[in-house]
Amino acid sequence: MSKKQRIISLAVWLCLILVSLAGVLLTEDSERAETIRETMRDAVLHDSNKISLFGIAEVNPALISAFTVTGILLIIALAIRLFVIPKFKYVPGKFQLLLERLVGFFDGLGTSNSPHRNGFLNVYIFGAGVYIFFGTIFELFGLQAVTSHGIPISLPAPLSDINAAIALGCLSYLVIMSGGIASNGIRGVGKTLKDFSLPISMSFRLFGALLSGLLVTELVYYYSGLSFVLPVVVAILFTLLHALIQTYVLTMLTSLFYGEVSEVHKTKNKKTKTEIKA
Amino acid sequence: MGIPLNIDWHQILLHLFNFIILTGGLYFLLYSPIKKFIEKRDAHYRGMDSEANEKLDSARELEEQARERLEKIDQEIQEKRVKAEAELSEYTVKRMKEAQDKADKLISDAKASANEEKRAILDSVDKDIISITKEAAAKILHVSTDEAYSQFLDTAERDEGDGK
């Protein structure tokens, strides 16, 4: 491309940006369906925008997101199972390597943090990690849904709903407790209950991290004038960082606590008795 | 009594239900088959590794055996060489003795033969000398007789000429 062509392309690109910006500013509707306060409040509490779940009940949009993410992930997993995995080779290609790294990462994380007992843990953190990562990224696609009041909204990340965060945090705690019971019986329950604040901290960590991303994105998108350039950083970069960090944090904490409570406790007295007998 | 932050147990259970379905599905569709494949590949490479190690061990064992055999063969060769050298030296001595005896015999035979020839030659020379001498004497005698006769005749003729 010559220098002249480059200048023309640059000028056309700038003109397009200015024209679209002018169009957005001139056609901006001053009367919004919700004020910024209502939008922010709804992002936190989900008390006004509900979506009908097959006519059975009205649920938060995040639950619809969760079902959608699950559906998409299971369809992709099924396609991979049917068309990709049977063609796996001993010398892997790029996609095979990616899948192996995905499984290997969570497997290694579970095994290194909980060397005594990790079969179920590895499966759990794999599911949780995939769910958190893809669930968080899901909000980037901006899938639209209509509330029961007829207002169109973009579906949020599932874990930006406190109910989803509590579900995952409590389930993680139960998984940790199950590891303790399986390894140490009643003593394992005691060791797990010692960290009674864990489900709350896990739940609210997830919720807070993802909600903050959602709030910043909502705030930015509320003012259409900020919808240029800034969302590239705010939405994509923050969402990707959230996805990576929260995935790592929850899976790592779960495997760490699981490893701690599932460590087999050896009683010294019994040893000495058996030694004396011997 | 309303729970703060719009926490809804019904929705929490729905989220749990959703997550359990997702985890189970991902386990059966992705985690388990991929892990099985990784384990299968690990087992394959471990098998290859152990097979290679076994082959290496057997190769080392064979090398050791071959080395021992070589050492044994070297030892045998050395023993045979010493034995062969001893035999060779014995044989050489024997052959030299035989050669010496043969040479001595040849020399003595040659000497005897030479003496005989010498004697024969001397005899032959003696006979030749005798015959030559005889011939020479005969010739001498013949010449002197002729000369004496001629001289006599000359003398007689001269006397007859003088009138004596």
Spatial CB neighbours of A244, under 8 Å, sequence gap ≥ 6? A133
CA angle A84, A89, A94 (to 5 degrees): 65
On whether residue A105 sits in a domain, the answer given is: yes
pLDDT over 50 at B1, yes or no? no
User: What value does the mean pLDDT of chain B take?
Assistant: 89
CB nearest A162 (choices: B5, B19, B27): B5
pLDDT (tens digit per residue) in A92-105: 999 999 999 999 99
User: What value does the mean pLDDT of chain A take?
Assistant: 83
On whether residue A5 sits in a domain, the answer given is: no
- Asked if A100 lies within 8 A of B26 by C-beta distance, the reply is no
- Asked if A73 lies within 8 A of B26 by C-beta distance, the reply is yes
Q: What is the average per-residue pLDDT within A46-56?
A: 80
pLDDT over 80 at A265, yes or no? no
Strand partners for A144: A154
On whether residue A136 sits in a domain, the answer given is: yes
Contacts of B155-163 with CB under 8 Å at 24 or more apart are none
pLDDT: is A18 or A249 the higher one? A249
**What is residue A57's predicted lDDT score, i.e. its pLDDT?**
82
Q: How far is CA A180 from CA A41, A121, A262, B18, B122, in A?
A: 39, 12, 5, 25, 137
Spatial CB neighbours of A177, under 8 Å, sequence gap ≥ 6? A188, A189, A192, A193, A261
pLDDT over 70 at B57, yes or no? yes
Q: CA B147 to CA B141: how far, in whole Å?
A: 10
pLDDT over 80 at A40, yes or no? no
Interface residue of A52, A103, A211 to substitute, partner B, most B CBs within 10 Å: A103
**What is residue B110's predicted lDDT score, i.e. its pLDDT?**
92
Q: Does A40 touch chain B (CB under 8 A)?
A: no
CB nearest B26 (choices: A44, A47, A130): A130
Domain residues for A50? 34-264
Q: Spell out which residues of chain B touch residue A123, defining contact as CB-CB under 8 Å.
A: 23, 27, 31
Q: How far is CA B14 from CA A62, A79, A155, B26, in A?
A: 11, 26, 17, 18
Contact A138, A68 (CB under 8 A): yes
Count CB pairs under 8 A between chains A and B.
Answer: 110
On whether residue A6 sits in a domain, the answer given is: no
On whether residue B56 sits in a domain, the answer given is: yes
Residue of A nearest to B5 (CA): A45
pLDDT (tens digit per residue) in B106-120: 999 999 999 999 999
Pairing state between β A57-59 and A144-146 = unpaired
A144 sits in which H/E element: strand A144-146
pLDDT over 70 at B76, yes or no? yes
Closest CA to A61 of A153, A151, A130: A153
Structural domain total, chain B: 1
User: How close does chain A come to B48, measured CA to CA in Å?
Assistant: 13
Q: Does A16 touch chain B (CB under 8 A)?
A: no
- Asked if A70 lies within 8 A of B22 by C-beta distance, the reply is yes
On whether residue A87 sits in a domain, the answer given is: yes
Residue of A nearest to B13 (CA): A167
Q: CA B80 to CA B138: how far, in whole Å?
A: 83
Q: What is the dihedral of CA B40, B44, B46, B52, to 10 degrees?
A: 180
pLDDT (tens digit per residue) in A167-182: 998 899 889 888 888 8
Q: CA A260 to CA B3: how far, in whole Å?
A: 33
Contact A139, A210 (CB under 8 A): no
Domain residues for B92? 10-157
pLDDT over 80 at A151, yes or no? yes
CB nearest A77 (choices: B11, B25, B35): B25
**What is residue B87's predicted lDDT score, i.e. its pLDDT?**
93
On whether residue A67 sits in a domain, the answer given is: yes
Q: Spell out which residues of chain A touch residue B37, defining contact as CB-CB under 8 Å.
A: 85, 88, 100
**What is residue A123's predicted lDDT score, i.e. its pLDDT?**
94
Q: Does A100 touch chain B (CB under 8 A)?
A: yes
Task: Tell me how crowded residue A138 is: count the other CB atoms within 10 A of its CB.
Answer: 23
Q: What is the average per-residue pLDDT within A220-239?
A: 72
**What is residue A121's predicted lDDT score, i.e. its pLDDT?**
92
The answer to ipTM > 0.95 is no
On whether residue B45 sits in a domain, the answer given is: yes
Structural domain total, chain A: 1
